[in-house]
Amino acid sequence: MKTHTPSLPAVSFGRRPHLLAPLLLCCLLLAVPARAADPAPQIKPCVACHSVERICRNVDKGDAFWTKTVKRMIANGAHVGPDQVPGLVALLANPDHDKVREILNCPSPDSLKTSAAAVPTAVILAHPILMILTLLLALWVTWQGVNRARFSHFKQKTAFNWKGHTRYGLVVMGLWLAGAVGGSIVSDMLHGIPDAYELHEGMAAVMLWLIAFGGLSGLYMDRKKAKRTLLPILHGAANLLLLLLALGQLVTGLVILGRLLAA
């Protein structure tokens, strides 16, 4: 028995879909270096792992907190020599909090409000709306991939829409890359970004690698059709992980959106 599969309208990249590969890579290169911050020189070693906002949130803490925290950060791997610790603690624990904020180049406490107001709501909404639609398409592509795996590994009779899986898979990858570029542009426009952003950005960075692998391995299998075992498994595993991350992005993204709209 054939399982019923809804089909999507055909799109075509012409007869040479592999030409999309360099495009994928270009987008990837474009997206990665986006959003370079310029922290105060003294705290350069402190922004290697997290944003300055994490430090800014604690400027009202005293000497004891900073001594303990800086030591813990060094244990975490911060490149701060023992001779630099007292100076750094003195800088961070300075009771003149406004001065510390100024040195650290902290976003002002209500900058989320001002920056969210400065960016049109349509621009803020464009990224989440596009990404939610992309996620729906990704679910369809995944379903096709699962059908394929059921056929090749469990010998179950399923309908696999090869062309649809390849084409819409590439559309999803392309939209995700565009989403990474668009998301980092919007976050640059918003100077004070909510906490959840760090995780959202971190997951996006991991997704870029998986997109490159998932897209290129898919294109390769489409171009050079052959009986394979390992590559389809790797392709499927990487893309399932990608889908999980995309679901995580949905959650963190909605948190960010909620905070921006509430600001």
Please report, as ranges, the residues that interact with ligand HEC according to CB under 6 A. 45-46, 48-50, 54-55, 58, 69-70, 72-73, 76-78, 80, 88
Quick one: CA dihedral 144, 149, 154, 157, positive or negative? Answer: positive
* Smallest separation (angstroms) from ligand HEC to the CB of 68: 9
Q: Which is nearer to ligand HEC, 78 or 126 (CB)?
A: 78
Q: At its nearest, how many Å lie between ligand HEC and the CB of residue 223?
A: 41
Of 54 and 223, which has the nearer Cβ to ligand HEC?
A: 54
Residue closer to ligand HEC (CB basis): 45 or 232: 45
Residue 261 in contact with residue 128, Cβ under 8 Å? no
- Whether the CB-CB separation of 104 and 43 falls below 8 Å is answered with yes
The least distance separating ligand HEC from the CB of residue 205, rounded to whole angstroms, comes to 15
Tell me how far, at minimum, the Cβ of 66 lies from ligand HEC, in Å. 7
- Least separation in angstroms between residue 198's CB and ligand HEC is 10
Which residue has the closest beta carbon to ligand HEC? 46
Residue number, 104 or 131, with CB nearest to ligand HEC: 104
Helices (H), the chain: 20-31, 52-56, 63-76, 85-93, 97-104, 111-118, 121-154, 162-189, 197-223, 230-262
Which residue, 54 or 97, has its beta carbon nearer to ligand HEC? 54
Got the DSSP string for 73-142? HHHHT----GGGHHHHHHHHH-S-HHHHHHHHTPPPTTHHHHHHHHS-HHHHHHHHHHHHHHHHHHHHHH
Helix (H, G, I), strand (E, B) or coil at 4: coil
Three-state SS at 155: coil
By beta-carbon proximity to ligand HEC, the closer residue of 74 and 126 is 74
Q: How far is the CB of 261 from ligand HEC (least distance, A)?
A: 26
